[in-house]
Amino acid sequence: MATGVAAWLPFARAAAIGWMPVANLPMPIAPTEKNKRADELIILNVSGRRFETWRNTLDRYPDTLLGSSEKEFFYNEDTKEYFFDRDPDVFRAVLNFYRTGKLHYPRSECILAYDEELSFFGIIPEIIGDCCYEEYKDRRRENQERLMDDDEDKKDAKLPNMTFRETMWRAFENPHTSTMALVFYYVTGFFIAISVLTNVVETVPCGTTPNTKEVPCGERYTVAFFCMDTACVLIFTVEYLMRLFAAPSRYRFMRSVMSIIDVVAILPYYIGLVMTNNEDVSGAFVTLRVFRVFRIFKFSRHSQGLRILGYTLKSCASELGFLLFSLTMAIIIFATVMFYAEKGSTSSKFTSIPASFWYTIVTMTTLGYGDMVPKTIAGKIFGSICSLSGVLVIALPVPVIVSNFSRIYHQNQRADKRRAQKMQKARLARIRISKTGNSNAFLHSKRNGLFSDALELTSSTEEEQQLSKNQSLLESQHHHLLHCLEKTTNHKFADEQCYEQSYLEGALHSYPSRSPSFSSQEGMTGTCCTCCSKRNHGPFPNSSMPTCLLTNPPSHTHPHHNLQELSTIHIQPLNTSRSSLNMLVDEPARPNCQSGTITTAIISSPMPPATTPEVDAHLPPTGFALQNVVKVSAM
């Protein structure tokens, strides 16, 4: 029950008088308040700062420290106050929770200190009010991320018993872990740079010998460049092989982008080695050398920024693809138009539509090389339209990419918010569970045999004391209210399982089944409660009570035998073996018979029409099995 409205319980109970004339059954006895104290002020001394409040205010939340008897541990006899050696600033928020029902998070407090105080006072942080919940969760998340970062740094510490392979892999992935790894990292970086530089310088025309024309350095110092190239490729090959060896999942490693780049960077050399002096393919060989430039992509292992750029382009791929498509459309349209416009003019460069593509692209990107210009008037008109529209069309990708960037950024934020909302859902689920826990508290207390029909009008005070021992007064009053409602409507509260079963039984009512499927019942540690017993009391008005189940002739044909499968039996987890149930047949009946208390039996008595004595013997053990939960009534 929501404790904030505990003050209105008297009103709700008073309003229950409205049900009385309608009810046909007698009402249960109301719980009396033992030691009803007039409301008094309590003094809470928190590290010297004194807070005072009514006792009833604290009693609103009986499952917290201040609301339960746990606070008695902190009672100081001499000063007649409760002393807590905790932070008084956070205690303000805690006490305000009792007063207003809403828990707030003071933003100036450290999140960890606040959490500690909450757990000390037994308050779950999920009930922080909506006004402060986002802030609380944000701070919590930041804190956790910081802890995770710290953990990641700590992770770099060498774990014991790492195999050589794992050490190598860690060295490759995080160069900062050891000096060897750092050396390796810088060496490979250096060689990548050297290799790229070599490729570039190879083509520069070197100093000339006086009588020959200028030759590129590559041809002049062939051997030197070849040695340089070989050295670099050797280093790269060794590196690739080492990574391949160290990778935890070789297949995944070979599929990764970086390894593909590595392979493409070193392959041309080997292919070149294989195919030297073969005139036919030397042309192809030359083009292969172009792939050597891919070595520059190996730098992305060394640079975080390159990786991010690559990732962004990859994520913008669809937008860029669409843009390319629209550009292609525009190019084709304008190229066609220009071709047909310029067809008439003499010595026109616009020899074909594909030839006009070049003009269109150059014009649309506002490059305007001038190698192809329209000469006819129509051509010039369409050319100007082309360049104007080109400005518009080419200007599109920039906001697309920018919006993609911002979209990805906001997606991250939204993912966080979604996570926060999931937290919200989880939080609501938790609150709901605790609420249904409260609504099921009534059913729990019934099941525990605390309520009974016979107690209605002739209860002894011991029973009442037993009642109030386990529940707070508020709870017992609330349960009494719900019990009155049950009496008024002559229906009982049940929980989900019971509802489904009774729904099923309504459906199955016409289908008689004769097997007492005991095993199926074993699985259901159902919570179907007093309802089942009540039902079974009906058909046996003249049968002796369940103690005599032992001796009841199995000829009782029970009109509701079809319900055997559905009626649940509380079975304590200890007694799941049928043999053990068999063995202890005789014991339980007697002590239960002797109990003078008349309480409801929560056994369904599935009386099988079969007359096998074993089956019979199975039945009473259920009574035993439920010792704490069920007291077999001994009328």
Partner 1 sequence: MGALMVIFSLQKDQRRKRTDSVEDELELSAVRHRPEGLEQLEALTRFNRKELQILYRGFKNECPSGVVNEDTFKDIYSQFFPQGDASKYAHFLFNAFDTNKDGSVSFEDFVMGLSILLRGSVQEKLNWAFNLYDINKDGYITKEEMLDIMKAIYDMMGKCTYPLVKDDTPRQHVELFFQKMDKNKDGVVTIDEFIDCCQNDENIMRSMQLFENVI
What's the closest the beta carbon of residue 449 comes to partner 1, in angstroms? 17
How many CA within 13 A on the CB side of residue 29? Answer: 18
Greatest CA separation for the chain: 132
What's the closest the beta carbon of residue 319 comes to partner 1, in angstroms? 14
The sign of the CA dihedral 586, 591, 595, 600 is: negative
Judged by CB, which is closer to partner 1: 498, or 607?
498
Judged by CB, which is closer to partner 1: 25, or 333?
25
Out of 94, 266, 484, 601, the residue judged to bind partner 1 by CB under 8 A: 484
Out of 402, 415, 583, 598, the residue judged to bind partner 1 by CB under 8 A: 402
Q: What is the 3-state secondary structure (H, E, C) of 594-619?
A: HCCCCCCCCCCCCCCCCCCHHHHHHH
Judged by CB, which is closer to partner 1: 132, or 215?
132
Residue with tokens 């409260």: 438
Contact window for partner 1 (CB under 8 A) among 40-48, 477-485, 552-560, 591-599: 477-485
Out of 485, 584, 593, 617, the residue judged to bind partner 1 by CB under 8 A: 485
What's the closest the beta carbon of residue 426 comes to partner 1, in angstroms? 20
Closest listed residue to residue 622, CA positions, set 576, 557, 561: 576
**Residues sharing a CB contact under 8 Å with residue 247, sequence separation 6 or more, in sequence order:** 169, 253
488 binds partner 1 (CB under 8 A): yes
Judged by CB, which is closer to partner 1: 17, or 223?
17
32 binds partner 1 (CB under 8 A): yes
Judged by CB, which is closer to partner 1: 450, or 529?
529
411 binds partner 1 (CB under 8 A): no
Q: Are strands 81-84 and 41-46 parallel, antiparallel or unpaired?
A: parallel
Out of 7, 200, 257, 428, the residue judged to bind partner 1 by CB under 8 A: 7
The sign of the CA dihedral 132, 134, 139, 143 is: positive
Site string for partner 1, 33-62 (x = CB under 8 A): x----xx--------------x-x------
Out of 144, 203, 403, 611, the residue judged to bind partner 1 by CB under 8 A: 403
Count of positions on this chain that bind partner 1 (CB under 8 A):
70
What the block records as the tokens of 348 is 């026109």
d(Cα 523, Cα 313) in Å, to the nearest integer? 56
21 binds partner 1 (CB under 8 A): yes
Judged by CB, which is closer to partner 1: 33, or 138?
33
Q: Are strands 81-84 and 75-76 parallel, antiparallel or unpaired?
A: antiparallel
d(Cα 453, Cα 28) in Å, to the nearest integer? 8
What's the closest the beta carbon of residue 505 comes to partner 1, in angstroms? 9
299-335 core/surface letters (b: 16 or more CB in 10 A; e: else)? ebbeeeeeeeeeeeeeebeebeeebeeebeebbeebb
Phi (first) and psi of residue 45, to 5 degrees: -100, 110
Residues paired with residue 205 on neighbouring β-strands, in sequence order: 216
d(Cα 54, Cα 571) in Å, to the nearest integer? 44
Site string for partner 1, 85-114 (x = CB under 8 A): --------------x---------------
> At 344, which amino acid appears?
G
What's the closest the beta carbon of residue 396 comes to partner 1, in angstroms? 8
What's the closest the beta carbon of residue 387 comes to partner 1, in angstroms? 13
d(Cα 330, Cα 347) in Å, to the nearest integer? 25
245 binds partner 1 (CB under 8 A): no
d(Cα 493, Cα 223) in Å, to the nearest integer? 95
What's the closest the beta carbon of residue 479 comes to partner 1, in angstroms? 11
17 binds partner 1 (CB under 8 A): yes
472 binds partner 1 (CB under 8 A): no
Q: How many other CB atoms are found less than 10 A from the CB of residue 179?
A: 10
The sign of the CA dihedral 470, 472, 473, 476 is: negative
Out of 59, 486, 522, 616, the residue judged to bind partner 1 by CB under 8 A: 486
Out of 498, 589, 601, 607, the residue judged to bind partner 1 by CB under 8 A: 498
What's the closest the beta carbon of residue 67 comes to partner 1, in angstroms? 16
**Residues sharing a CB contact under 8 Å with residue 119, sequence separation 6 or more, in sequence order:** none
Assign 175 to helix, strand or coil. coil
Out of 79, 326, 434, 489, the residue judged to bind partner 1 by CB under 8 A: 489
d(Cα 117, Cα 87) in Å, to the nearest integer? 8
Contact window for partner 1 (CB under 8 A) among 41-49, 318-326, 397-405, 516-524: 397-405
Phi (first) and psi of residue 230, to 5 degrees: -60, -45
d(Cα 246, Cα 171) in Å, to the nearest integer? 10
Closest listed residue to residue 629, CA positions, set 556, 557, 525: 525
Out of 370, 506, 573, 613, the residue judged to bind partner 1 by CB under 8 A: 506
611 binds partner 1 (CB under 8 A): no
Site string for partner 1, 438-467 (x = CB under 8 A): xx-----------------x----------
Out of 49, 255, 419, 491, the residue judged to bind partner 1 by CB under 8 A: 491
The sign of the CA dihedral 402, 404, 410, 416 is: negative
Judged by CB, which is closer to partner 1: 174, or 502?
502
Out of 106, 205, 310, 399, the residue judged to bind partner 1 by CB under 8 A: 399
Assign 458 to helix, strand or coil. coil
Contact window for partner 1 (CB under 8 A) among 166-174, 304-312, 391-399, 518-526: 391-399
d(Cα 632, Cα 624) in Å, to the nearest integer? 9
15 binds partner 1 (CB under 8 A): yes
In the complex, the residues that contact partner 1 under the rule CB under 8 A are 1-2, 4-27, 29-30, 32-33, 38-39, 54, 56, 99, 391, 395-399, 402-403, 435-436, 438-439, 457, 478, 481-482, 484-486, 488-496, 498-499, 502-503, 506, 528, 531
